[in-house]
A and B are shown apart, each in its own frame.
Chain A
Amino acid sequence: MRWKQLSVFLENKPGALSEPCRLLAGAQINIRTFSLADTREFGILRMVVDDPDKARRLLRRHGFAVRVNDVLVIEVPDRPGELAAILDGLDGSGINVKYGYGFTVDGQGKGVLVFAFDDPDKALSILKKKRVAAGLKGGR
Protein backbone atom coordinates (compact mmCIF):
# COMPACT_ATOMS: atom_id res chain seq x y z
CA MET A 1 0.00 0.00 0.00
CA ARG A 2 0.97 3.63 -0.36
CA TRP A 3 2.32 5.25 2.70
CA LYS A 4 3.91 8.56 3.55
CA GLN A 5 7.61 8.33 4.28
CA LEU A 6 9.35 11.07 6.24
CA SER A 7 12.87 12.13 5.34
CA VAL A 8 14.75 14.14 7.96
CA PHE A 9 18.00 15.97 7.31
CA LEU A 10 20.69 15.14 9.86
CA GLU A 11 24.24 16.23 10.23
CA ASN A 12 26.65 13.34 10.39
CA LYS A 13 27.71 13.62 14.01
CA PRO A 14 27.20 11.67 17.22
CA GLY A 15 23.75 12.13 18.72
CA ALA A 16 22.13 13.56 15.60
CA LEU A 17 19.90 10.51 15.18
CA SER A 18 18.68 10.30 18.73
CA GLU A 19 16.93 13.68 18.93
CA PRO A 20 14.22 13.07 16.33
CA CYS A 21 13.73 9.53 17.65
CA ARG A 22 13.29 10.80 21.20
CA LEU A 23 10.76 13.38 20.00
CA LEU A 24 8.70 10.73 18.25
CA ALA A 25 8.90 8.46 21.28
CA GLY A 26 7.69 11.27 23.52
CA ALA A 27 4.67 11.77 21.28
CA GLN A 28 3.89 8.05 21.22
CA ILE A 29 4.56 7.84 17.50
CA ASN A 30 5.72 4.40 16.45
CA ILE A 31 8.53 4.00 13.94
CA ARG A 32 7.62 0.98 11.84
CA THR A 33 10.89 0.91 9.99
CA PHE A 34 13.65 3.26 8.95
CA SER A 35 16.79 3.52 6.92
CA LEU A 36 19.72 5.88 7.04
CA ALA A 37 21.36 7.23 3.94
CA ASP A 38 24.61 8.88 4.78
CA THR A 39 27.54 10.74 3.37
CA ARG A 40 30.60 11.98 5.18
CA GLU A 41 28.87 15.19 6.18
CA PHE A 42 25.17 14.58 6.35
CA GLY A 43 22.56 11.89 6.50
CA ILE A 44 18.95 11.42 5.59
CA LEU A 45 16.83 9.53 8.08
CA ARG A 46 13.93 7.92 6.22
CA MET A 47 11.11 6.61 8.32
CA VAL A 48 7.80 4.86 7.99
CA VAL A 49 5.77 5.77 11.07
CA ASP A 50 2.21 5.10 12.13
CA ASP A 51 1.15 8.78 12.08
CA PRO A 52 3.22 10.57 9.44
CA ASP A 53 1.29 13.87 9.54
CA LYS A 54 1.63 14.23 13.28
CA ALA A 55 5.30 13.26 13.10
CA ARG A 56 5.99 15.80 10.36
CA ARG A 57 4.34 18.62 12.31
CA LEU A 58 6.20 17.66 15.48
CA LEU A 59 9.60 17.50 13.81
CA ARG A 60 9.03 20.74 11.91
CA ARG A 61 7.99 22.53 15.05
CA HIS A 62 11.30 21.49 16.57
CA GLY A 63 13.24 22.93 13.70
CA PHE A 64 13.96 19.88 11.59
CA ALA A 65 13.92 20.01 7.82
CA VAL A 66 11.41 17.30 6.94
CA ARG A 67 10.22 16.11 3.59
CA VAL A 68 7.29 13.78 2.94
CA ASN A 69 7.00 11.51 -0.06
CA ASP A 70 4.98 8.48 -1.06
CA VAL A 71 6.48 5.04 -0.88
CA LEU A 72 4.94 1.62 -1.44
CA VAL A 73 4.92 -0.72 1.53
CA ILE A 74 4.57 -4.30 0.39
CA GLU A 75 4.14 -7.35 2.56
CA VAL A 76 5.59 -10.53 1.10
CA PRO A 77 6.12 -14.12 2.25
CA ASP A 78 9.60 -14.55 3.71
CA ARG A 79 11.03 -16.87 1.09
CA PRO A 80 13.43 -16.82 -1.86
CA GLY A 81 12.28 -15.08 -5.03
CA GLU A 82 9.72 -12.60 -3.67
CA LEU A 83 11.78 -9.46 -4.23
CA ALA A 84 12.81 -10.71 -7.66
CA ALA A 85 9.16 -11.29 -8.53
CA ILE A 86 8.27 -7.70 -7.73
CA LEU A 87 11.13 -6.34 -9.76
CA ASP A 88 10.31 -8.71 -12.64
CA GLY A 89 6.78 -7.38 -12.57
CA LEU A 90 8.06 -3.90 -13.21
CA ASP A 91 10.48 -4.94 -15.91
CA GLY A 92 10.01 -3.00 -19.10
CA SER A 93 7.74 -0.38 -17.45
CA GLY A 94 10.50 2.20 -17.29
CA ILE A 95 9.91 2.68 -13.57
CA ASN A 96 13.03 3.31 -11.56
CA VAL A 97 13.63 2.18 -8.00
CA LYS A 98 15.17 5.21 -6.26
CA TYR A 99 15.91 3.17 -3.16
CA GLY A 100 14.33 0.55 -0.94
CA TYR A 101 14.65 -1.12 2.37
CA GLY A 102 12.96 -4.00 4.13
CA PHE A 103 12.81 -6.34 7.06
CA THR A 104 11.49 -9.73 8.04
CA VAL A 105 9.88 -10.70 11.28
CA ASP A 106 11.28 -13.90 12.68
CA GLY A 107 8.81 -16.69 13.11
CA GLN A 108 5.98 -14.97 11.22
CA GLY A 109 7.14 -16.01 7.77
CA LYS A 110 6.64 -12.52 6.37
CA GLY A 111 8.78 -9.74 5.05
CA VAL A 112 7.94 -6.09 4.55
CA LEU A 113 9.54 -4.11 1.75
CA VAL A 114 9.56 -0.34 1.35
CA PHE A 115 10.12 1.06 -2.12
CA ALA A 116 10.56 4.58 -3.34
CA PHE A 117 9.73 4.59 -7.06
CA ASP A 118 10.04 7.56 -9.32
CA ASP A 119 6.42 6.94 -10.27
CA PRO A 120 4.67 5.28 -7.30
CA ASP A 121 1.18 5.46 -8.85
CA LYS A 122 2.20 3.64 -11.97
CA ALA A 123 4.23 1.09 -10.03
CA LEU A 124 1.27 0.38 -7.78
CA SER A 125 -1.13 -0.16 -10.66
CA ILE A 126 1.27 -2.44 -12.50
CA LEU A 127 1.96 -4.53 -9.43
CA LYS A 128 -1.74 -4.78 -8.67
CA LYS A 129 -2.56 -5.84 -12.17
CA LYS A 130 0.12 -8.50 -12.11
CA ARG A 131 -0.76 -9.52 -8.55
CA VAL A 132 2.86 -10.18 -7.88
CA ALA A 133 2.63 -9.46 -4.22
CA ALA A 134 -0.01 -10.69 -1.88
CA GLY A 135 0.68 -7.81 0.44
CA LEU A 136 -0.73 -5.37 -2.08
CA LYS A 137 -4.26 -6.60 -1.68
CA GLY A 138 -4.74 -4.36 1.31
CA GLY A 139 -3.59 -1.33 -0.66
CA ARG A 140 -5.70 1.78 -0.97
Chain B
Amino acid sequence: MKNGEFPGMHPASAMDYLPVAQLREVQFARLKETVRRAYENVALFRKRMDERRLKPSDLRRIEDVVKLPFMVKTDLRDNYPFGLFACPMREIVRFHASSGTTGKPIVVGYTQEDLDDWSRAMMRSFAACGVHRGDIVQNAYGYGLFTGGLGAHYGAEALGAAVIPVSVGNTDRQIMIMKDFGATVICCTPSYFLHLVDRAAELGVDLRKLPLRIGVFGAEPWTEDMRQRIEAAGGIRAFDIYGLSEIAGPGVAMECTHQAGPHIFEDLFYPEIIDPETLELLPDGTEGELVLTALCKRAMPMIRYRTRDITALEPARCACGRTLRRIRRIGRRSDDMLIVRGVNLFPSQIEAALLKVEGTLPHYQIVVDRMKGLDTLEVQVEVTAEVLSDTVGGLEQLRAQLGRAIESVTGLHPSLRLVAPRTLQRSEGKARRVIDKRVL
Protein backbone atom coordinates (compact mmCIF):
# COMPACT_ATOMS: atom_id res chain seq x y z
CA MET B 1 0.00 0.00 0.00
CA LYS B 2 1.43 3.34 -1.02
CA ASN B 3 1.90 5.93 1.77
CA GLY B 4 0.77 3.34 4.31
CA GLU B 5 -2.88 4.17 3.60
CA PHE B 6 -5.68 1.71 4.08
CA PRO B 7 -8.72 3.42 2.67
CA GLY B 8 -12.03 2.12 3.98
CA MET B 9 -15.30 2.38 2.18
CA HIS B 10 -15.85 5.83 0.79
CA PRO B 11 -18.96 7.50 2.30
CA ALA B 12 -20.29 8.10 -1.23
CA SER B 13 -20.30 4.32 -1.79
CA ALA B 14 -22.86 3.71 0.97
CA MET B 15 -25.67 3.73 -1.59
CA ASP B 16 -23.94 0.83 -3.37
CA TYR B 17 -24.95 -1.43 -0.46
CA LEU B 18 -28.54 -0.32 0.11
CA PRO B 19 -30.78 -3.32 0.88
CA VAL B 20 -32.71 -4.30 -2.27
CA ALA B 21 -36.18 -3.53 -0.86
CA GLN B 22 -35.07 -0.05 0.11
CA LEU B 23 -33.33 0.40 -3.22
CA ARG B 24 -36.58 -0.38 -5.06
CA GLU B 25 -38.40 2.21 -2.96
CA VAL B 26 -35.80 4.85 -3.77
CA GLN B 27 -36.01 3.94 -7.45
CA PHE B 28 -39.78 4.14 -7.49
CA ALA B 29 -39.95 7.52 -5.74
CA ARG B 30 -37.42 8.94 -8.18
CA LEU B 31 -39.07 7.39 -11.23
CA LYS B 32 -42.44 8.90 -10.29
CA GLU B 33 -40.93 12.35 -9.94
CA THR B 34 -39.03 12.11 -13.24
CA VAL B 35 -42.07 10.83 -15.14
CA ARG B 36 -44.18 13.64 -13.71
CA ARG B 37 -41.61 16.24 -14.76
CA ALA B 38 -41.28 14.78 -18.25
CA TYR B 39 -45.04 14.58 -18.68
CA GLU B 40 -45.49 18.20 -17.71
CA ASN B 41 -42.57 19.60 -19.70
CA VAL B 42 -41.65 17.41 -22.67
CA ALA B 43 -44.15 17.45 -25.52
CA LEU B 44 -42.94 14.21 -27.11
CA PHE B 45 -43.22 12.28 -23.84
CA ARG B 46 -46.65 13.69 -23.04
CA LYS B 47 -47.90 12.77 -26.51
CA ARG B 48 -46.67 9.20 -26.20
CA MET B 49 -48.17 8.84 -22.72
CA ASP B 50 -51.49 10.21 -23.94
CA GLU B 51 -51.46 7.77 -26.86
CA ARG B 52 -51.21 4.98 -24.30
CA ARG B 53 -53.86 6.63 -22.11
CA LEU B 54 -51.31 6.71 -19.33
CA LYS B 55 -50.97 9.25 -16.54
CA PRO B 56 -47.93 9.55 -14.25
CA SER B 57 -50.28 8.61 -11.39
CA ASP B 58 -50.82 5.17 -13.02
CA LEU B 59 -47.41 4.11 -11.77
CA ARG B 60 -47.88 2.11 -8.56
CA ARG B 61 -44.52 0.39 -8.17
CA ILE B 62 -41.14 0.28 -9.89
CA GLU B 63 -42.14 -2.72 -12.04
CA ASP B 64 -44.76 -0.51 -13.73
CA VAL B 65 -41.89 1.07 -15.63
CA VAL B 66 -42.63 -1.43 -18.42
CA LYS B 67 -45.85 0.45 -19.19
CA LEU B 68 -43.89 3.55 -20.19
CA PRO B 69 -42.95 4.33 -23.80
CA PHE B 70 -39.39 3.79 -25.03
CA MET B 71 -37.06 6.52 -26.18
CA VAL B 72 -34.52 5.97 -28.96
CA LYS B 73 -31.54 7.79 -30.38
CA THR B 74 -33.53 9.20 -33.28
CA ASP B 75 -35.80 10.97 -30.76
CA LEU B 76 -32.79 13.07 -29.82
CA ARG B 77 -31.97 13.73 -33.45
CA ASP B 78 -35.56 14.63 -34.33
CA ASN B 79 -35.77 17.07 -31.41
CA TYR B 80 -32.35 18.61 -32.02
CA PRO B 81 -31.07 20.55 -30.24
CA PHE B 82 -33.20 21.30 -27.16
CA GLY B 83 -36.60 19.75 -27.90
CA LEU B 84 -36.40 17.17 -25.10
CA PHE B 85 -35.35 19.61 -22.38
CA ALA B 86 -37.71 19.74 -19.39
CA CYS B 87 -36.50 22.97 -17.86
CA PRO B 88 -35.87 26.56 -18.96
CA MET B 89 -32.43 27.58 -20.21
CA ARG B 90 -31.66 29.54 -17.03
CA GLU B 91 -31.46 26.22 -15.17
CA ILE B 92 -29.14 24.59 -17.73
CA VAL B 93 -25.45 24.86 -16.84
CA ARG B 94 -23.78 22.47 -19.27
CA PHE B 95 -24.14 20.88 -22.69
CA HIS B 96 -22.53 17.81 -24.10
CA ALA B 97 -22.96 16.23 -27.50
CA SER B 98 -22.11 13.00 -29.21
CA SER B 99 -22.29 11.67 -32.72
CA GLY B 100 -25.77 10.82 -33.86
CA THR B 101 -26.92 8.16 -36.25
CA THR B 102 -26.82 10.63 -39.13
CA GLY B 103 -25.56 14.15 -39.75
CA LYS B 104 -26.34 16.29 -36.71
CA PRO B 105 -24.96 15.39 -33.29
CA ILE B 106 -27.24 14.60 -30.39
CA VAL B 107 -27.27 17.19 -27.64
CA VAL B 108 -27.73 16.67 -23.91
CA GLY B 109 -28.15 19.32 -21.20
CA TYR B 110 -27.54 19.30 -17.47
CA THR B 111 -28.73 21.33 -14.52
CA GLN B 112 -26.32 21.84 -11.63
CA GLU B 113 -28.06 19.03 -9.73
CA ASP B 114 -27.65 16.75 -12.77
CA LEU B 115 -23.94 17.48 -12.80
CA ASP B 116 -23.71 16.81 -9.06
CA ASP B 117 -25.46 13.45 -9.46
CA TRP B 118 -23.18 12.52 -12.32
CA SER B 119 -20.08 13.55 -10.37
CA ARG B 120 -21.23 11.38 -7.49
CA ALA B 121 -21.74 8.43 -9.83
CA MET B 122 -18.22 8.93 -11.19
CA MET B 123 -16.85 9.33 -7.66
CA ARG B 124 -18.48 6.01 -6.71
CA SER B 125 -17.02 4.50 -9.88
CA PHE B 126 -13.50 5.47 -8.93
CA ALA B 127 -14.02 4.37 -5.33
CA ALA B 128 -15.39 1.00 -6.48
CA CYS B 129 -12.18 0.07 -8.30
CA GLY B 130 -9.91 1.21 -5.49
CA VAL B 131 -9.03 4.79 -6.40
CA HIS B 132 -8.72 7.06 -3.38
CA ARG B 133 -7.48 10.39 -2.12
CA GLY B 134 -3.75 10.58 -2.81
CA ASP B 135 -4.05 8.93 -6.20
CA ILE B 136 -2.85 10.84 -9.24
CA VAL B 137 -5.39 10.43 -12.03
CA GLN B 138 -4.20 10.95 -15.59
CA ASN B 139 -7.41 11.69 -17.41
CA ALA B 140 -6.79 10.94 -21.07
CA TYR B 141 -10.42 10.99 -22.10
CA GLY B 142 -11.16 13.83 -24.50
CA TYR B 143 -12.27 17.07 -22.89
CA GLY B 144 -14.97 18.93 -24.73
CA LEU B 145 -18.36 17.99 -26.04
CA PHE B 146 -17.54 14.32 -25.37
CA THR B 147 -18.70 13.41 -21.85
CA GLY B 148 -15.66 11.27 -21.05
CA GLY B 149 -13.18 14.00 -20.17
CA LEU B 150 -15.23 16.26 -17.92
CA GLY B 151 -17.17 13.33 -16.43
CA ALA B 152 -14.05 11.58 -15.19
CA HIS B 153 -12.52 14.90 -14.21
CA TYR B 154 -15.26 16.04 -11.84
CA GLY B 155 -15.70 12.57 -10.36
CA ALA B 156 -12.02 12.18 -9.57
CA GLU B 157 -11.85 15.67 -8.07
CA ALA B 158 -14.94 15.00 -5.96
CA LEU B 159 -13.21 11.92 -4.60
CA GLY B 160 -10.23 14.04 -3.63
CA ALA B 161 -7.79 12.53 -6.10
CA ALA B 162 -5.29 14.71 -7.94
CA VAL B 163 -6.37 15.07 -11.57
CA ILE B 164 -4.09 15.63 -14.54
CA PRO B 165 -6.49 16.96 -17.22
CA VAL B 166 -4.22 15.91 -20.06
CA SER B 167 -7.09 14.98 -22.42
CA VAL B 168 -6.64 12.70 -25.38
CA GLY B 169 -3.77 12.54 -27.84
CA ASN B 170 -0.13 13.61 -27.93
CA THR B 171 1.01 10.19 -26.87
CA ASP B 172 4.65 11.08 -26.23
CA ARG B 173 3.59 13.81 -23.82
CA GLN B 174 1.17 11.40 -22.12
CA ILE B 175 4.03 9.02 -21.46
CA MET B 176 6.32 11.75 -20.22
CA ILE B 177 3.66 13.08 -17.84
CA MET B 178 2.76 9.60 -16.65
CA LYS B 179 6.38 9.01 -15.77
CA ASP B 180 7.28 12.42 -14.39
CA PHE B 181 4.08 12.99 -12.35
CA GLY B 182 3.96 9.40 -11.16
CA ALA B 183 0.36 8.88 -12.27
CA THR B 184 -1.27 5.97 -10.43
CA VAL B 185 -4.54 5.88 -12.39
CA ILE B 186 -5.19 6.28 -16.10
CA CYS B 187 -8.56 6.94 -17.72
CA CYS B 188 -8.85 6.39 -21.47
CA THR B 189 -10.23 4.04 -24.07
CA PRO B 190 -8.74 0.53 -23.93
CA SER B 191 -7.50 0.83 -27.51
CA TYR B 192 -5.72 4.07 -26.71
CA PHE B 193 -4.04 2.46 -23.71
CA LEU B 194 -2.72 -0.30 -25.96
CA HIS B 195 -1.41 2.42 -28.23
CA LEU B 196 0.27 4.03 -25.19
CA VAL B 197 1.86 0.69 -24.30
CA ASP B 198 3.27 0.28 -27.80
CA ARG B 199 4.55 3.81 -27.98
CA ALA B 200 6.11 3.59 -24.51
CA ALA B 201 8.00 0.48 -25.64
CA GLU B 202 9.29 2.38 -28.67
CA LEU B 203 10.51 5.13 -26.36
CA GLY B 204 12.13 2.60 -24.06
CA VAL B 205 9.65 3.20 -21.20
CA ASP B 206 8.42 0.12 -19.35
CA LEU B 207 4.98 1.01 -17.95
CA ARG B 208 5.22 -1.89 -15.52
CA LYS B 209 7.99 -0.08 -13.70
CA LEU B 210 5.94 3.10 -13.22
CA PRO B 211 3.62 3.73 -10.21
CA LEU B 212 0.58 3.29 -12.47
CA ARG B 213 -1.73 0.68 -10.90
CA ILE B 214 -5.30 1.20 -12.13
CA GLY B 215 -6.82 1.75 -15.56
CA VAL B 216 -10.41 2.95 -15.96
CA PHE B 217 -11.32 1.98 -19.50
CA GLY B 218 -14.49 2.65 -21.40
CA ALA B 219 -16.21 4.40 -24.31
CA GLU B 220 -15.78 1.40 -26.59
CA PRO B 221 -16.38 -2.32 -26.34
CA TRP B 222 -13.43 -4.47 -25.42
CA THR B 223 -12.74 -8.09 -24.61
CA GLU B 224 -11.32 -10.20 -21.79
CA ASP B 225 -8.35 -10.92 -24.05
CA MET B 226 -7.67 -7.20 -24.22
CA ARG B 227 -7.98 -6.93 -20.45
CA GLN B 228 -5.36 -9.62 -19.99
CA ARG B 229 -3.03 -8.02 -22.48
CA ILE B 230 -3.49 -4.56 -20.93
CA GLU B 231 -2.87 -5.85 -17.41
CA ALA B 232 0.26 -7.77 -18.44
CA ALA B 233 1.75 -5.01 -20.58
CA GLY B 234 0.85 -2.14 -18.27
CA GLY B 235 1.41 -3.81 -14.90
CA ILE B 236 -1.99 -2.51 -13.82
CA ARG B 237 -5.50 -3.71 -13.08
CA ALA B 238 -7.91 -2.80 -15.83
CA PHE B 239 -11.54 -1.94 -15.04
CA ASP B 240 -14.50 -1.62 -17.35
CA ILE B 241 -16.55 1.55 -17.00
CA TYR B 242 -19.81 1.99 -18.81
CA GLY B 243 -21.85 5.00 -19.68
CA LEU B 244 -23.45 6.98 -22.47
CA SER B 245 -24.04 10.67 -22.86
CA GLU B 246 -27.77 10.25 -23.43
CA ILE B 247 -28.12 9.00 -19.84
CA ALA B 248 -25.34 11.05 -18.18
CA GLY B 249 -21.91 10.08 -19.44
CA PRO B 250 -19.34 7.66 -18.01
CA GLY B 251 -20.20 6.32 -14.57
CA VAL B 252 -23.57 4.73 -15.31
CA ALA B 253 -21.93 1.43 -14.34
CA MET B 254 -18.50 0.49 -13.09
CA GLU B 255 -16.61 -2.63 -12.13
CA CYS B 256 -15.58 -3.20 -8.53
CA THR B 257 -12.27 -4.77 -7.55
CA HIS B 258 -13.73 -8.22 -8.32
CA GLN B 259 -13.74 -7.30 -12.04
CA ALA B 260 -16.91 -9.26 -12.58
CA GLY B 261 -18.78 -6.82 -14.83
CA PRO B 262 -19.84 -3.23 -14.23
CA HIS B 263 -22.31 -2.56 -11.37
CA ILE B 264 -25.08 -0.20 -12.44
CA PHE B 265 -25.63 2.65 -10.01
CA GLU B 266 -29.22 1.61 -9.78
CA ASP B 267 -30.40 4.34 -7.46
CA LEU B 268 -29.64 6.74 -10.35
CA PHE B 269 -30.10 4.56 -13.42
CA TYR B 270 -32.80 1.91 -13.64
CA PRO B 271 -31.85 -1.00 -15.94
CA GLU B 272 -34.04 -3.35 -17.94
CA ILE B 273 -33.17 -5.97 -20.53
CA ILE B 274 -35.54 -6.33 -23.44
CA ASP B 275 -35.78 -8.46 -26.53
CA PRO B 276 -34.84 -5.93 -29.24
CA GLU B 277 -37.30 -7.56 -31.66
CA THR B 278 -40.44 -8.03 -29.53
CA LEU B 279 -39.54 -5.31 -26.97
CA GLU B 280 -40.61 -7.73 -24.22
CA LEU B 281 -38.93 -7.48 -20.82
CA LEU B 282 -36.45 -10.33 -20.27
CA PRO B 283 -35.53 -11.86 -16.90
CA ASP B 284 -32.14 -11.28 -15.28
CA GLY B 285 -29.48 -13.53 -16.75
CA THR B 286 -30.96 -13.43 -20.23
CA GLU B 287 -29.14 -11.59 -22.98
CA GLY B 288 -30.92 -8.72 -24.66
CA GLU B 289 -30.82 -4.99 -25.23
CA LEU B 290 -30.09 -2.77 -22.26
CA VAL B 291 -32.73 -0.13 -21.59
CA LEU B 292 -31.95 2.59 -19.07
CA THR B 293 -34.03 5.16 -17.23
CA ALA B 294 -32.20 8.11 -15.71
CA LEU B 295 -34.04 8.33 -12.40
CA CYS B 296 -32.91 11.81 -11.36
CA LYS B 297 -32.23 13.70 -14.54
CA ARG B 298 -33.87 17.11 -14.45
CA ALA B 299 -32.68 18.92 -17.57
CA MET B 300 -33.47 16.13 -19.98
CA PRO B 301 -35.44 13.20 -18.61
CA MET B 302 -34.45 9.97 -20.35
CA ILE B 303 -37.04 7.32 -19.74
CA ARG B 304 -36.66 3.75 -21.01
CA TYR B 305 -33.88 4.75 -23.37
CA ARG B 306 -32.86 1.96 -25.74
CA THR B 307 -29.06 1.82 -25.56
CA ARG B 308 -28.67 -0.74 -28.37
CA ASP B 309 -26.03 -2.41 -26.19
CA ILE B 310 -26.49 -6.14 -25.95
CA THR B 311 -25.83 -7.53 -22.49
CA ALA B 312 -27.49 -9.32 -19.60
CA LEU B 313 -28.09 -8.39 -15.97
CA GLU B 314 -26.16 -10.83 -13.81
CA PRO B 315 -28.63 -12.58 -11.51
CA ALA B 316 -26.05 -13.50 -8.86
CA ARG B 317 -24.91 -11.10 -6.15
CA CYS B 318 -21.28 -9.96 -6.55
CA ALA B 319 -18.75 -11.08 -3.95
CA CYS B 320 -18.17 -7.42 -3.05
CA GLY B 321 -21.57 -7.28 -1.35
CA ARG B 322 -23.01 -4.47 -3.46
CA THR B 323 -26.72 -4.80 -4.04
CA LEU B 324 -26.31 -3.15 -7.43
CA ARG B 325 -26.83 -5.49 -10.34
CA ARG B 326 -24.03 -5.98 -12.84
CA ILE B 327 -24.10 -6.00 -16.61
CA ARG B 328 -22.14 -8.54 -18.59
CA ARG B 329 -19.34 -7.30 -20.79
CA ILE B 330 -20.85 -5.65 -23.81
CA GLY B 331 -19.39 -7.41 -26.81
CA ARG B 332 -21.70 -5.99 -29.36
CA ARG B 333 -24.56 -3.65 -29.96
CA SER B 334 -27.82 -4.48 -31.56
CA ASP B 335 -26.82 -1.98 -34.24
CA ASP B 336 -23.10 -2.62 -34.89
CA MET B 337 -23.87 -5.82 -36.61
CA LEU B 338 -22.88 -5.74 -40.25
CA ILE B 339 -24.57 -7.91 -42.79
CA VAL B 340 -22.05 -8.77 -45.49
CA ARG B 341 -23.08 -11.04 -48.32
CA GLY B 342 -25.99 -12.07 -46.12
CA VAL B 343 -23.71 -13.08 -43.27
CA ASN B 344 -23.93 -11.45 -39.84
CA LEU B 345 -20.60 -9.95 -38.92
CA PHE B 346 -19.44 -8.38 -35.67
CA PRO B 347 -16.16 -6.46 -35.48
CA SER B 348 -15.38 -8.36 -32.27
CA GLN B 349 -15.19 -11.53 -34.37
CA ILE B 350 -12.52 -10.03 -36.60
CA GLU B 351 -10.71 -8.84 -33.50
CA ALA B 352 -10.66 -12.33 -32.03
CA ALA B 353 -9.24 -13.75 -35.27
CA LEU B 354 -6.47 -11.16 -35.53
CA LEU B 355 -5.57 -11.66 -31.89
CA LYS B 356 -5.32 -15.39 -32.40
CA VAL B 357 -2.86 -15.12 -35.29
CA GLU B 358 -0.68 -12.28 -34.06
CA GLY B 359 -0.81 -12.91 -30.32
CA THR B 360 -1.45 -9.23 -29.76
CA LEU B 361 -4.16 -7.12 -31.26
CA PRO B 362 -2.95 -4.97 -34.16
CA HIS B 363 -4.76 -1.82 -35.23
CA TYR B 364 -7.22 -2.78 -37.87
CA GLN B 365 -10.10 -1.44 -39.88
CA ILE B 366 -12.99 -3.15 -41.58
CA VAL B 367 -14.07 -1.65 -44.88
CA VAL B 368 -17.30 -2.85 -46.39
CA ASP B 369 -18.24 -1.78 -49.88
CA ARG B 370 -20.40 -2.94 -52.73
CA MET B 371 -19.07 -3.54 -56.23
CA LYS B 372 -21.29 -4.63 -59.09
CA GLY B 373 -23.97 -5.64 -56.63
CA LEU B 374 -21.66 -7.77 -54.51
CA ASP B 375 -20.54 -6.89 -51.00
CA THR B 376 -16.81 -6.64 -50.53
CA LEU B 377 -15.13 -7.05 -47.17
CA GLU B 378 -11.65 -5.69 -46.76
CA VAL B 379 -9.76 -5.91 -43.50
CA GLN B 380 -6.81 -3.56 -43.24
CA VAL B 381 -4.21 -4.51 -40.67
CA GLU B 382 -1.28 -2.41 -39.55
CA VAL B 383 2.04 -4.23 -39.74
CA THR B 384 4.10 -4.16 -36.56
CA ALA B 385 7.82 -4.88 -36.12
CA GLU B 386 6.85 -8.08 -34.30
CA VAL B 387 5.17 -9.66 -37.30
CA LEU B 388 7.24 -8.06 -40.07
CA SER B 389 9.20 -10.44 -42.24
CA ASP B 390 12.18 -9.58 -44.41
CA THR B 391 10.70 -11.59 -47.28
CA VAL B 392 7.66 -11.04 -49.41
CA GLY B 393 6.84 -14.71 -48.89
CA GLY B 394 6.78 -14.20 -45.12
CA LEU B 395 4.37 -11.29 -45.38
CA GLU B 396 2.18 -13.09 -47.87
CA GLN B 397 2.02 -15.98 -45.45
CA LEU B 398 0.98 -13.66 -42.63
CA ARG B 399 -1.67 -12.19 -44.88
CA ALA B 400 -2.99 -15.61 -45.80
CA GLN B 401 -3.04 -16.71 -42.14
CA LEU B 402 -4.99 -13.62 -41.08
CA GLY B 403 -7.43 -14.13 -43.93
CA ARG B 404 -7.97 -17.77 -43.05
CA ALA B 405 -8.48 -16.98 -39.35
CA ILE B 406 -11.13 -14.39 -40.19
CA GLU B 407 -12.80 -16.79 -42.57
CA SER B 408 -12.94 -19.53 -39.99
CA VAL B 409 -14.59 -17.23 -37.41
CA THR B 410 -16.98 -15.34 -39.67
CA GLY B 411 -17.51 -17.63 -42.63
CA LEU B 412 -16.57 -14.71 -44.88
CA HIS B 413 -13.51 -14.61 -47.06
CA PRO B 414 -12.06 -11.13 -46.64
CA SER B 415 -9.57 -9.38 -48.82
CA LEU B 416 -6.77 -8.67 -46.41
CA ARG B 417 -4.53 -5.67 -46.80
CA LEU B 418 -1.37 -5.02 -44.85
CA VAL B 419 -0.78 -1.33 -44.23
CA ALA B 420 2.02 0.70 -42.67
CA PRO B 421 1.93 1.45 -38.91
CA ARG B 422 -0.23 4.40 -37.86
CA THR B 423 -1.97 4.83 -41.16
CA LEU B 424 -5.42 3.81 -39.93
CA GLN B 425 -7.66 6.55 -38.60
CA ARG B 426 -8.01 7.06 -34.87
CA SER B 427 -10.42 9.66 -33.62
CA GLU B 428 -10.72 10.93 -30.02
CA GLY B 429 -8.53 7.98 -29.08
CA LYS B 430 -11.39 5.79 -30.13
CA ALA B 431 -10.40 3.48 -32.92
CA ARG B 432 -12.72 3.67 -35.88
CA ARG B 433 -13.17 0.00 -36.63
CA VAL B 434 -15.76 -0.13 -39.35
CA ILE B 435 -16.20 1.86 -42.53
CA ASP B 436 -19.31 0.89 -44.39
CA LYS B 437 -19.26 2.54 -47.79
CA ARG B 438 -22.32 0.74 -49.08
CA VAL B 439 -25.34 2.69 -50.10
CA LEU B 440 -28.08 0.26 -49.14
Contacts and interface: CB of A to CB of B under 8 A. Distances in A.
Interface string A4-37: 0101011100001000000000000000000001
Interface stretch (B48-56, B125-133, B391-399): B391-399
B385 A65 contact: yes
Contacts of A9: 383, 388, 395, 418, 420-421
The SS class assigned to the B binding surface is: loop
Interface in B155-206: 202-203
A64 B384 CA distance: 8
A42 B418 CA distance: 7
Contacts of A99: 391
Contacts of B418: 9, 41-42
Nearest to A64: B421
Interface string B227-240: 00000000000000
Interface residues of B, number: 19
Contacts of A60: 202, 385
B337 interface: no
A61 B388 contact: no
Q: Which of B202, B390, B396, B422 has the most CB of A within 10 A?
A: B390
A100 to B, nearest CB: 12
Contacts of B422: 63
Interface in B38-93: none
Given A9-B383, A39-B396, A64 B417 contact: no
Contacts of B385: 60, 65-67
Contact of B417 (A37, A41, A46, A67): A41
A56 to B, nearest CB: 9
A98 to B, nearest CB: 6
Interface in A38-87: 38-39, 41-42, 44, 46, 60-61, 63-67, 69
A126 interface: no
| Range for the number of chain A residues in contact with chain B | 20 to 34
A67 B388 CA distance: 6
A116 interface: yes
Contact of A46 (B202, B203, B390, B396): B390
B391 A67 contact: no
A66 B388 contact: yes
B421 A63 contact: yes
A61 B420 contact: no
Nearest to B393: A98
Given A9-B383, A9-B420, A44-B395, A61 B390 contact: no
B389 A67 contact: yes
B392 A39 contact: yes
B419 interface: yes
Nearest to A37: B392
30 contacts: A5-B390, A9-B383, A9-B388, A9-B421, A11-B420, A16-B420, A38-B392, A39-B395, A41-B418, A42-B383, A42-B418, A44-B389, A44-B390, A44-B391, A44-B392, A44-B395, A60-B202, A63-B421, A64-B420, A64-B421, A65-B384, A65-B385, A65-B420, A65-B421, A66-B385, A66-B388, A67-B388, A98-B390, A99-B391, A116-B391
**Cβ-closest 9 pairs across A and B:** A7-B390, A67-B388, A9-B383, A65-B388, A65-B383, A37-B392, A65-B385, A63-B422, A11-B420
Given A11-B420, A41-B418, A61-B203, 10 more contacts: A7-B389, A9-B383, A9-B421, A42-B395, A46-B390, A60-B385, A64-B420, A64-B421, A65-B383, A67-B385
